[in-house]
Amino acid sequence: MKEIQPKFHRILVKLSGEALMGDQKFGISPTVVTAIAWELALVHALGVQIAAVVGGGNIIRGVSAEEQGIDRVTGDHMGMLATIINALALCSALEKQEIPTRVQTAIPTPEVAEPFIRRRAVRHLEKGRIVLFAGGTGNPFFTTDSAAALRANEIQADILLKATKVNGIYSTDPVKDPTAVLLPRLGYGEVLRRGLKVMDAAAISLCMENRIPIRVFNIKEAGILRDVVLGKEIGSLVGPEEDV
């Protein structure tokens, strides 16, 4: 029997905070966090090195806080702290499955997590530990998408996997437009020119500069992360124009 071989050696998974809510309107769904931990565990069992960046939108987002009268910089710092809460929840779920995990943050919180140190993060990955990056970039005005692109470049990930609540990238918002068409392959430049809401422009540009492909898919489908890592054409792929 032929041994299953993953297509990628080292991946970075971007998880939105909203993905952790499940059907709730706010907060963390233990059931969903356990399910995501299971998805990561399936990939870990393949011998793939896994890092993840977790958002904080299920608790608070800087932009939303600003709309409520909170200073934008303060709101962004609140959002960064929310990502640490989410990363700790996911870390706990992974460790319950006996998977060694480390949380590293861009904002120093030594009592609960390690500081982000690139060489230490890479060493954890090489030892088979899942590394969860929290605290965004540590700076206001940058999204966790930008943090994901930054960390993917720093650890030299083979691909950035954006796990969302939709099946991929559409021509328009599929929630608002029933005629929206799924776009299976796009170049970085096309995404930027068309203003498609995949990731913010800074994140796309950073991946384009270092030719890190981005795969967008629906994390709600059981076993899908493993299928993506095995090379199945799922969702949408963003990459160099000549490759797509």
d(CA 83, CA 133): 9
Q: Does domain 10-243 have CATH number 2.40.50.140?
A: no
Residue 14 pairs in a beta bridge with 53, 162
Q: Supply the DSSP symbol for 25.
A: S
Strands 10-15 and 49-54: parallel
Residue 22 is predicted with a pLDDT of 81
- DSSP letters of 109-141? -TTTSEEP-HHHHHHHHHTT-EEEEESTTSSTT
Structural tokens at position 224: 């899908």
Given a contact cutoff of 8 angstroms between Cβ atoms, the answer to whether 130 and 40 are in contact is yes
* Helical (H) or strand (E) element with 189: helix 188-194
List pLDDT tens digits, range 221-236: 889 999 999 999 999 9
Please, what is the angle between helix 72-96 and helix 30-44, to 10°?
Answer: 60
pLDDT band (50, 70, 90) for residue 68: confident
Domain ranges of the chain: 10-243
pLDDT band (50, 70, 90) for residue 147: very high
List pLDDT tens digits, range 90-146: 999 999 999 999 999 999 999 999 999 999 999 999 999 999 999 999 999 999 999
Residue 2 is predicted with a pLDDT of 56
**CA separation, residue 57 to residues 19, 107, 222 (Å):** 9, 17, 23
- For the whole model, what pTM was predicted? 0.93
Does 173 score more than 90 pLDDT?
no
Mean per-residue pLDDT, 147-164: 96
Please, what is the angle between helix 144-154 and helix 201-209, to 10°?
Answer: 10
